[in-house]
């Protein structure tokens, strides 16, 4: 009787195990039905590490929801906090408090440095807490000394597009040369007034200046899925110069998406896994 009962229990255990593995198979075979996830899955099989290094906890998005999205899509995440003049994090103590509140989550931790004042606002020790630091060139003082944020139409004064571009390119190059960052994000962004003239205004000479500064300072170039920048032409030139890339969403709300533009650029610009940069260290499991 005991032996029978043992065999019966064994059979039940085997049925449960079979059921579980069957459930797992169903889940994984269901994954490729979503084209976005299918693309990520095949790229990962081909040796790419698909990481979104520019995600924000915005629009009520919690770290738990972000990690759920990561499990479903297979995308790894770097979560950035905005630091600088006019942002919630403006000093070492709030920067350190933020870091300690999120450090145990299995994401990379990033500092998004805002404006040009940030280098004076935070000490190297608190910056060091983070896996990487990035900035964009969307905030600067224009030739008249006005603090300009390129995404706010009322703050952008363009008398003549070419001189605007030359001044902007010089700002980008100065940021890349002097600020201690790992990635240049929202790169080549143009304000609404001239955004439609992107290909004309980003001349080969202007592209080259930015690419040279990236190369000399070993700063990675973000391929940004929100603004769909830089252009494929810019990315191809940067690749030729040996610049490395990251992918980022810069979500303004709680939608993280699937890094669509970045994945498209991998195809369009023949980017290989070695063309990508990532922070040192591993994601916690």
Rule CB under 5 A: which residues touch Zn ion? 112, 250
CA distance 22 to 28: 10
Number of Cα atoms under 13 Å in the Cβ half of residue 116 = 18
Here the tokens at position 163 are 């001189």
For Zn ion, the closer of residues 189 and 202 by Cβ is 189
Min dist. Cβ of residue 144 to Zn ion (A):
27
Min dist. Cβ of residue 58 to Zn ion (A):
9
For Zn ion, the closer of residues 43 and 89 by Cβ is 89
CA distance 11 to 110: 50
For Zn ion, the closer of residues 73 and 250 by Cβ is 250
Min dist. Cβ of residue 181 to Zn ion (A):
13
For Zn ion, the closer of residues 209 and 228 by Cβ is 228
Dihedral angle over CA of 114, 120, 124, 130, nearest 10? -10
CA distance 164 to 70: 40
3-class DSSP assignment, residue 83: strand
Min dist. Cβ of residue 134 to Zn ion (A):
8
CA distance 258 to 248: 10
Residue nearest to Zn ion as judged by C-beta position: 250
- Cis before 230 (ω within 30): yes
Min dist. Cβ of residue 26 to Zn ion (A):
37
For Zn ion, the closer of residues 171 and 225 by Cβ is 225
């Amino acid at each position: 009787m005991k032996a029978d009962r043992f065999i019966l229990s064994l059979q039940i255990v085997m049925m449960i195990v079979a059921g579980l593995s069957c459930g797992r198979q169903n889940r994984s075979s269901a994954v490729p039905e979503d084209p976005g996830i299918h693309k990520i899955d095949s790229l990962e099989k081909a040796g790419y590490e698909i990481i979104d290094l520019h995600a924000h906890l915005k629009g009520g998005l919690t770290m738990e929801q972000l990690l759920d999205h990561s499990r479903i899509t297979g995308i790894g995440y770097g979560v950035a906090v905005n630091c600088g003049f006019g942002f919630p994090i403006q000093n070492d103590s709030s920067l350190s408090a933020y870091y300690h509140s999120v450090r145990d989550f299995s994401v990379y931790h990033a500092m998004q440095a805002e404006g040009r004042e940030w280098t004076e606002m935070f000490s190297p020790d608190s910056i060091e807490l983070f896996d990487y630091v990035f900035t964009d060139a969307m905030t600067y003082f224009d030739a008249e000394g006005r603090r300009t944020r390129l995404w706010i139409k009322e703050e952008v004064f363009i008398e003549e597009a070419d001189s605007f571009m030359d001044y902007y390119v010089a700002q980008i190059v100065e940021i890349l040369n002097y600020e201690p960052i790992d990635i240049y994000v929202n790169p080549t962004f143009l304000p609404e007034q001239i955004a439609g003239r992107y290909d004309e205004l980003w001349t080969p000479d202007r592209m080259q200046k930015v690419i040279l500064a990236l190369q000399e300072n070993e700063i990675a170039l973000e391929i940004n899925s929100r603004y769909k920048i830089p252009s494929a032409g810019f990315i191809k030139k940067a690749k030729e110069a040996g610049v490395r890339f990251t992918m980022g969403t810069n979500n303004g709300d709680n939608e993280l998406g699937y890094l669509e533009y970045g994945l498209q650029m991998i195809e369009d610009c023949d980017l290989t896994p070695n063309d990508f940069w990532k922070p040192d260290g591993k994601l916690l499991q």
